[in-house]
Chain A
Amino acid sequence: MVIEFTRIHQRVIWSCSISDRTGSVNHLLLRKTEKETNQIHSYQRDREKMSGVAIHASSWGAALVRISPYTFSAIGIAISIGVSVLGAAWGIYITGSSLIGAAIEAPRITSKNLISVIFCEAVAIYGVIVAIILQTKLESVPSSKMYDAESLRAGYAIFASGIIVGFANLVCGLCVGIIGSSCALSDAQNSTLFVKILVIEIFGSALGLFGVIVGIIMSAQATWPTK
């Protein structure tokens, strides 16, 4: 017995054909009312007009535009804070373990070298700030407009903003952490090196700032269609 589902429309209307061994085919057409069907037909035509693309071509692109923009937004916000905190934590443990070991023989380095830990922590704070900004950009749109090009754009803008901030902060946290570890060890041997290596760390922490700036600019693009 072969059951074949074919999509007739891009929404929930399916045609279920059930064929048994005799080869005869029974069509079971599940469909909405005539009015909705017509509405859906006109909706499809409108969309084709707006985007100029044959939406119902079976391709990855077609699948992608059918994912809700809210999914993308939510993932973007999650990545923005989750991956930033990952970077900050990674950097802090790299610096912290070297700092503790070096401070046993040279206790004077502890207070100055906490700056490296603070730079790593700043990276996590950037992630939190951007996540809060992004979540204020989320608005409800009526379900008819949910797959409009404009709302898709808003969803993608929030997603991209989250990725930018998250990964920029990940590598920034790593960079500052590794330099902080070397800074602690060098300071323990020769205290004139501390300020020079701190300058390198400042350049490293600027990377996270670049990510935050671009992320906030991107999130300004997140304008949902008005009701």
Chain B
Amino acid sequence: MYGFEALTFNIHGGYLEAIVRGHRAGLLTTADYNNLCQCENLEDIKMHLSATKYGSYLQNEPSPLHTTTIVEKCTLKLVDDYKHMLCQATEPMSTFLEYIRYGHMIDNVVLIVTGTLHERDVQELIEKCHPLGMFDSIATLAVAQNMRELYRLVLVDTPLAPYFSECLTSEDLDDMNIEIMRNTLYKAYLEDFYKFCQKLGGATAEIMSDLLAFEADRRAVNITINSIGTELTREDRKKLYSNFGLLYPYGHEELAICEDIDQVRGVMEKYPPYQAIFSKMSYGESQMLDKAFYEEEVRRLCLAFEQQFHYAVFFAYMRLREQEIRNLMWISECVAQNQKSRIHDSVVYMF
């Protein structure tokens, strides 16, 4: 019953919630980002990061540091935190935490299939995969020729199997179909996650509904913008939109027929939360859209911590860490390539 979670949540979830809030206190603040933006080279960045929670992960790295190493080690911290929480969790929290990784699994599957299509080495691709999305038979993905084989050989044993019901065609895998496959899988995953959270009820359902609805709407806008000018038909485009969220169903009808960005803006400005995002951009500009969406996402994720005794703090923490790793990657790249004037283009400040 909503409102009385405080009575029984701490039996199974009290310790882990306190741990995740401790991790949240270790996220980088605006002052940390300012320090990092002043750095001259990657060694300075490593020195500044050694004062944060990333210190123990970076201290043993040898001297010619690459940006990929920094990103890799920071991701390792995220994975360690996640695994520590997962092994201590009981049902239903463990299922909830597992759901957080399925998005990364989908990204890894698409990465390997695309890489194989472009004749890359499987081992090299596996090293590029996100560690949270690894599963045992991932190397076998390189063997598959079309989607039905992909499903039959590899994915039927993974947790992604139920998401494939709309994807099973015998078409060969090419770039367009892979993108469609990625979006179809992600749509099924989001809907499944949404239903699971609704089943949990209480504060978890309310906060996760808001976060997942924003995710679904953001993906709808990105699909629309990326498929303008391609050969994706309107019906196909509409099939890729999730069936929940603020834009469902009338926004989706209108987005499906959009042919350029100004029409998209016209559709989105009818919805007050998104009007604020789109009003920040001047006409004809779409580069800032990504950053605007990230900022809105971060704002909502930080709000999830305002309430106690629910599971959405775990989801919010994982997403905020990922955003932080994206920030660090951008800052490291700018510093390494000596383009510090562009640092503030893409860093999203959290606290």
By a CB distance below 8 angstroms, the chain A residues around B25 are 105-106, 188-189
Q: For the complex formed, measure the closest distance between the CB of B310 and the CB atoms of chain A, giving whole angstroms.
A: 13
User: Residue-by-residue, is A186-226 near B (CB-CB < 8 Å gives 1, otherwise 0)?
Assistant: 00110000000000000000000000000000000000000
Select one of B6, B19, B22, B23 contacting A94, CB under 8 A. Answer: B6
Interface string of A74-104 (1 = CB under 8 A from B): 0000000000000000100110011111101
Residue among B6, B10, B22 making CB contact with A102, cutoff 8 Å: B22
Most buried by B among A100, A101, A102, A178: A101
Is B21 located at the chain interface by the 8 A CB criterion? yes
Contact of B18 among A90, A102, A174, A178 (CB under 8 A): A102
Q: Is the CB of A105 within 8 A of B26?
A: yes
Alpha-carbon distance A93/B17, docked complex (angstroms): 14
Question: Binary interface profile of B, 15-59, with partner A (CB < 8 Å = 1, else 0)?
Answer: 111110111011000000000000000000000000000000000
Instruction: Assess whether A101 is in contact with B308, with CB atoms less than 8 Å apart.
Output: no
- B22 near A97 (CB under 8 angstroms)? no
B16 touches A101 (CB 8 A): yes
User: Measured between alpha carbons, how far is A206 from B26 in the docked complex, in Å?
Assistant: 36
Interface size band for B: 10 to 19
The CA-CA distance from A188 to B308 in the complex, in Å, is: 14
Interface contact A94-B308, CB-CB below 8 Å = no
Rounded to whole Å, the gap between the CB of B1 and the closest CB of chain A is 15
CB distance from A154 to the nearest CB of B (A): 36
- Per a CB cutoff under 8 Å, which of A98, A188, A189 touches B14? A98
Interface residues of B (CB under 8 A from A): 6-7, 10-11, 14-19, 21-23, 25-26, 308
Task: Give 17 new A-B contacts, CB below 8 A, not counting A105-B19, A181-B10.
Answer: A94-B6, A97-B15, A97-B18, A98-B15, A100-B18, A101-B21, A101-B22, A104-B18, A104-B19, A104-B22, A178-B6, A182-B308, A185-B17, A185-B21, A188-B18, A188-B21, A189-B25
Chain A interface (Cβ < 8 Å from any Cβ of B):
90, 93-94, 97-102, 104-106, 174, 178, 181-182, 184-185, 188-189
> Which 4 A/B pairs are nearest by Cβ-Cβ distance?
A101-B18, A105-B22, A97-B14, A102-B18
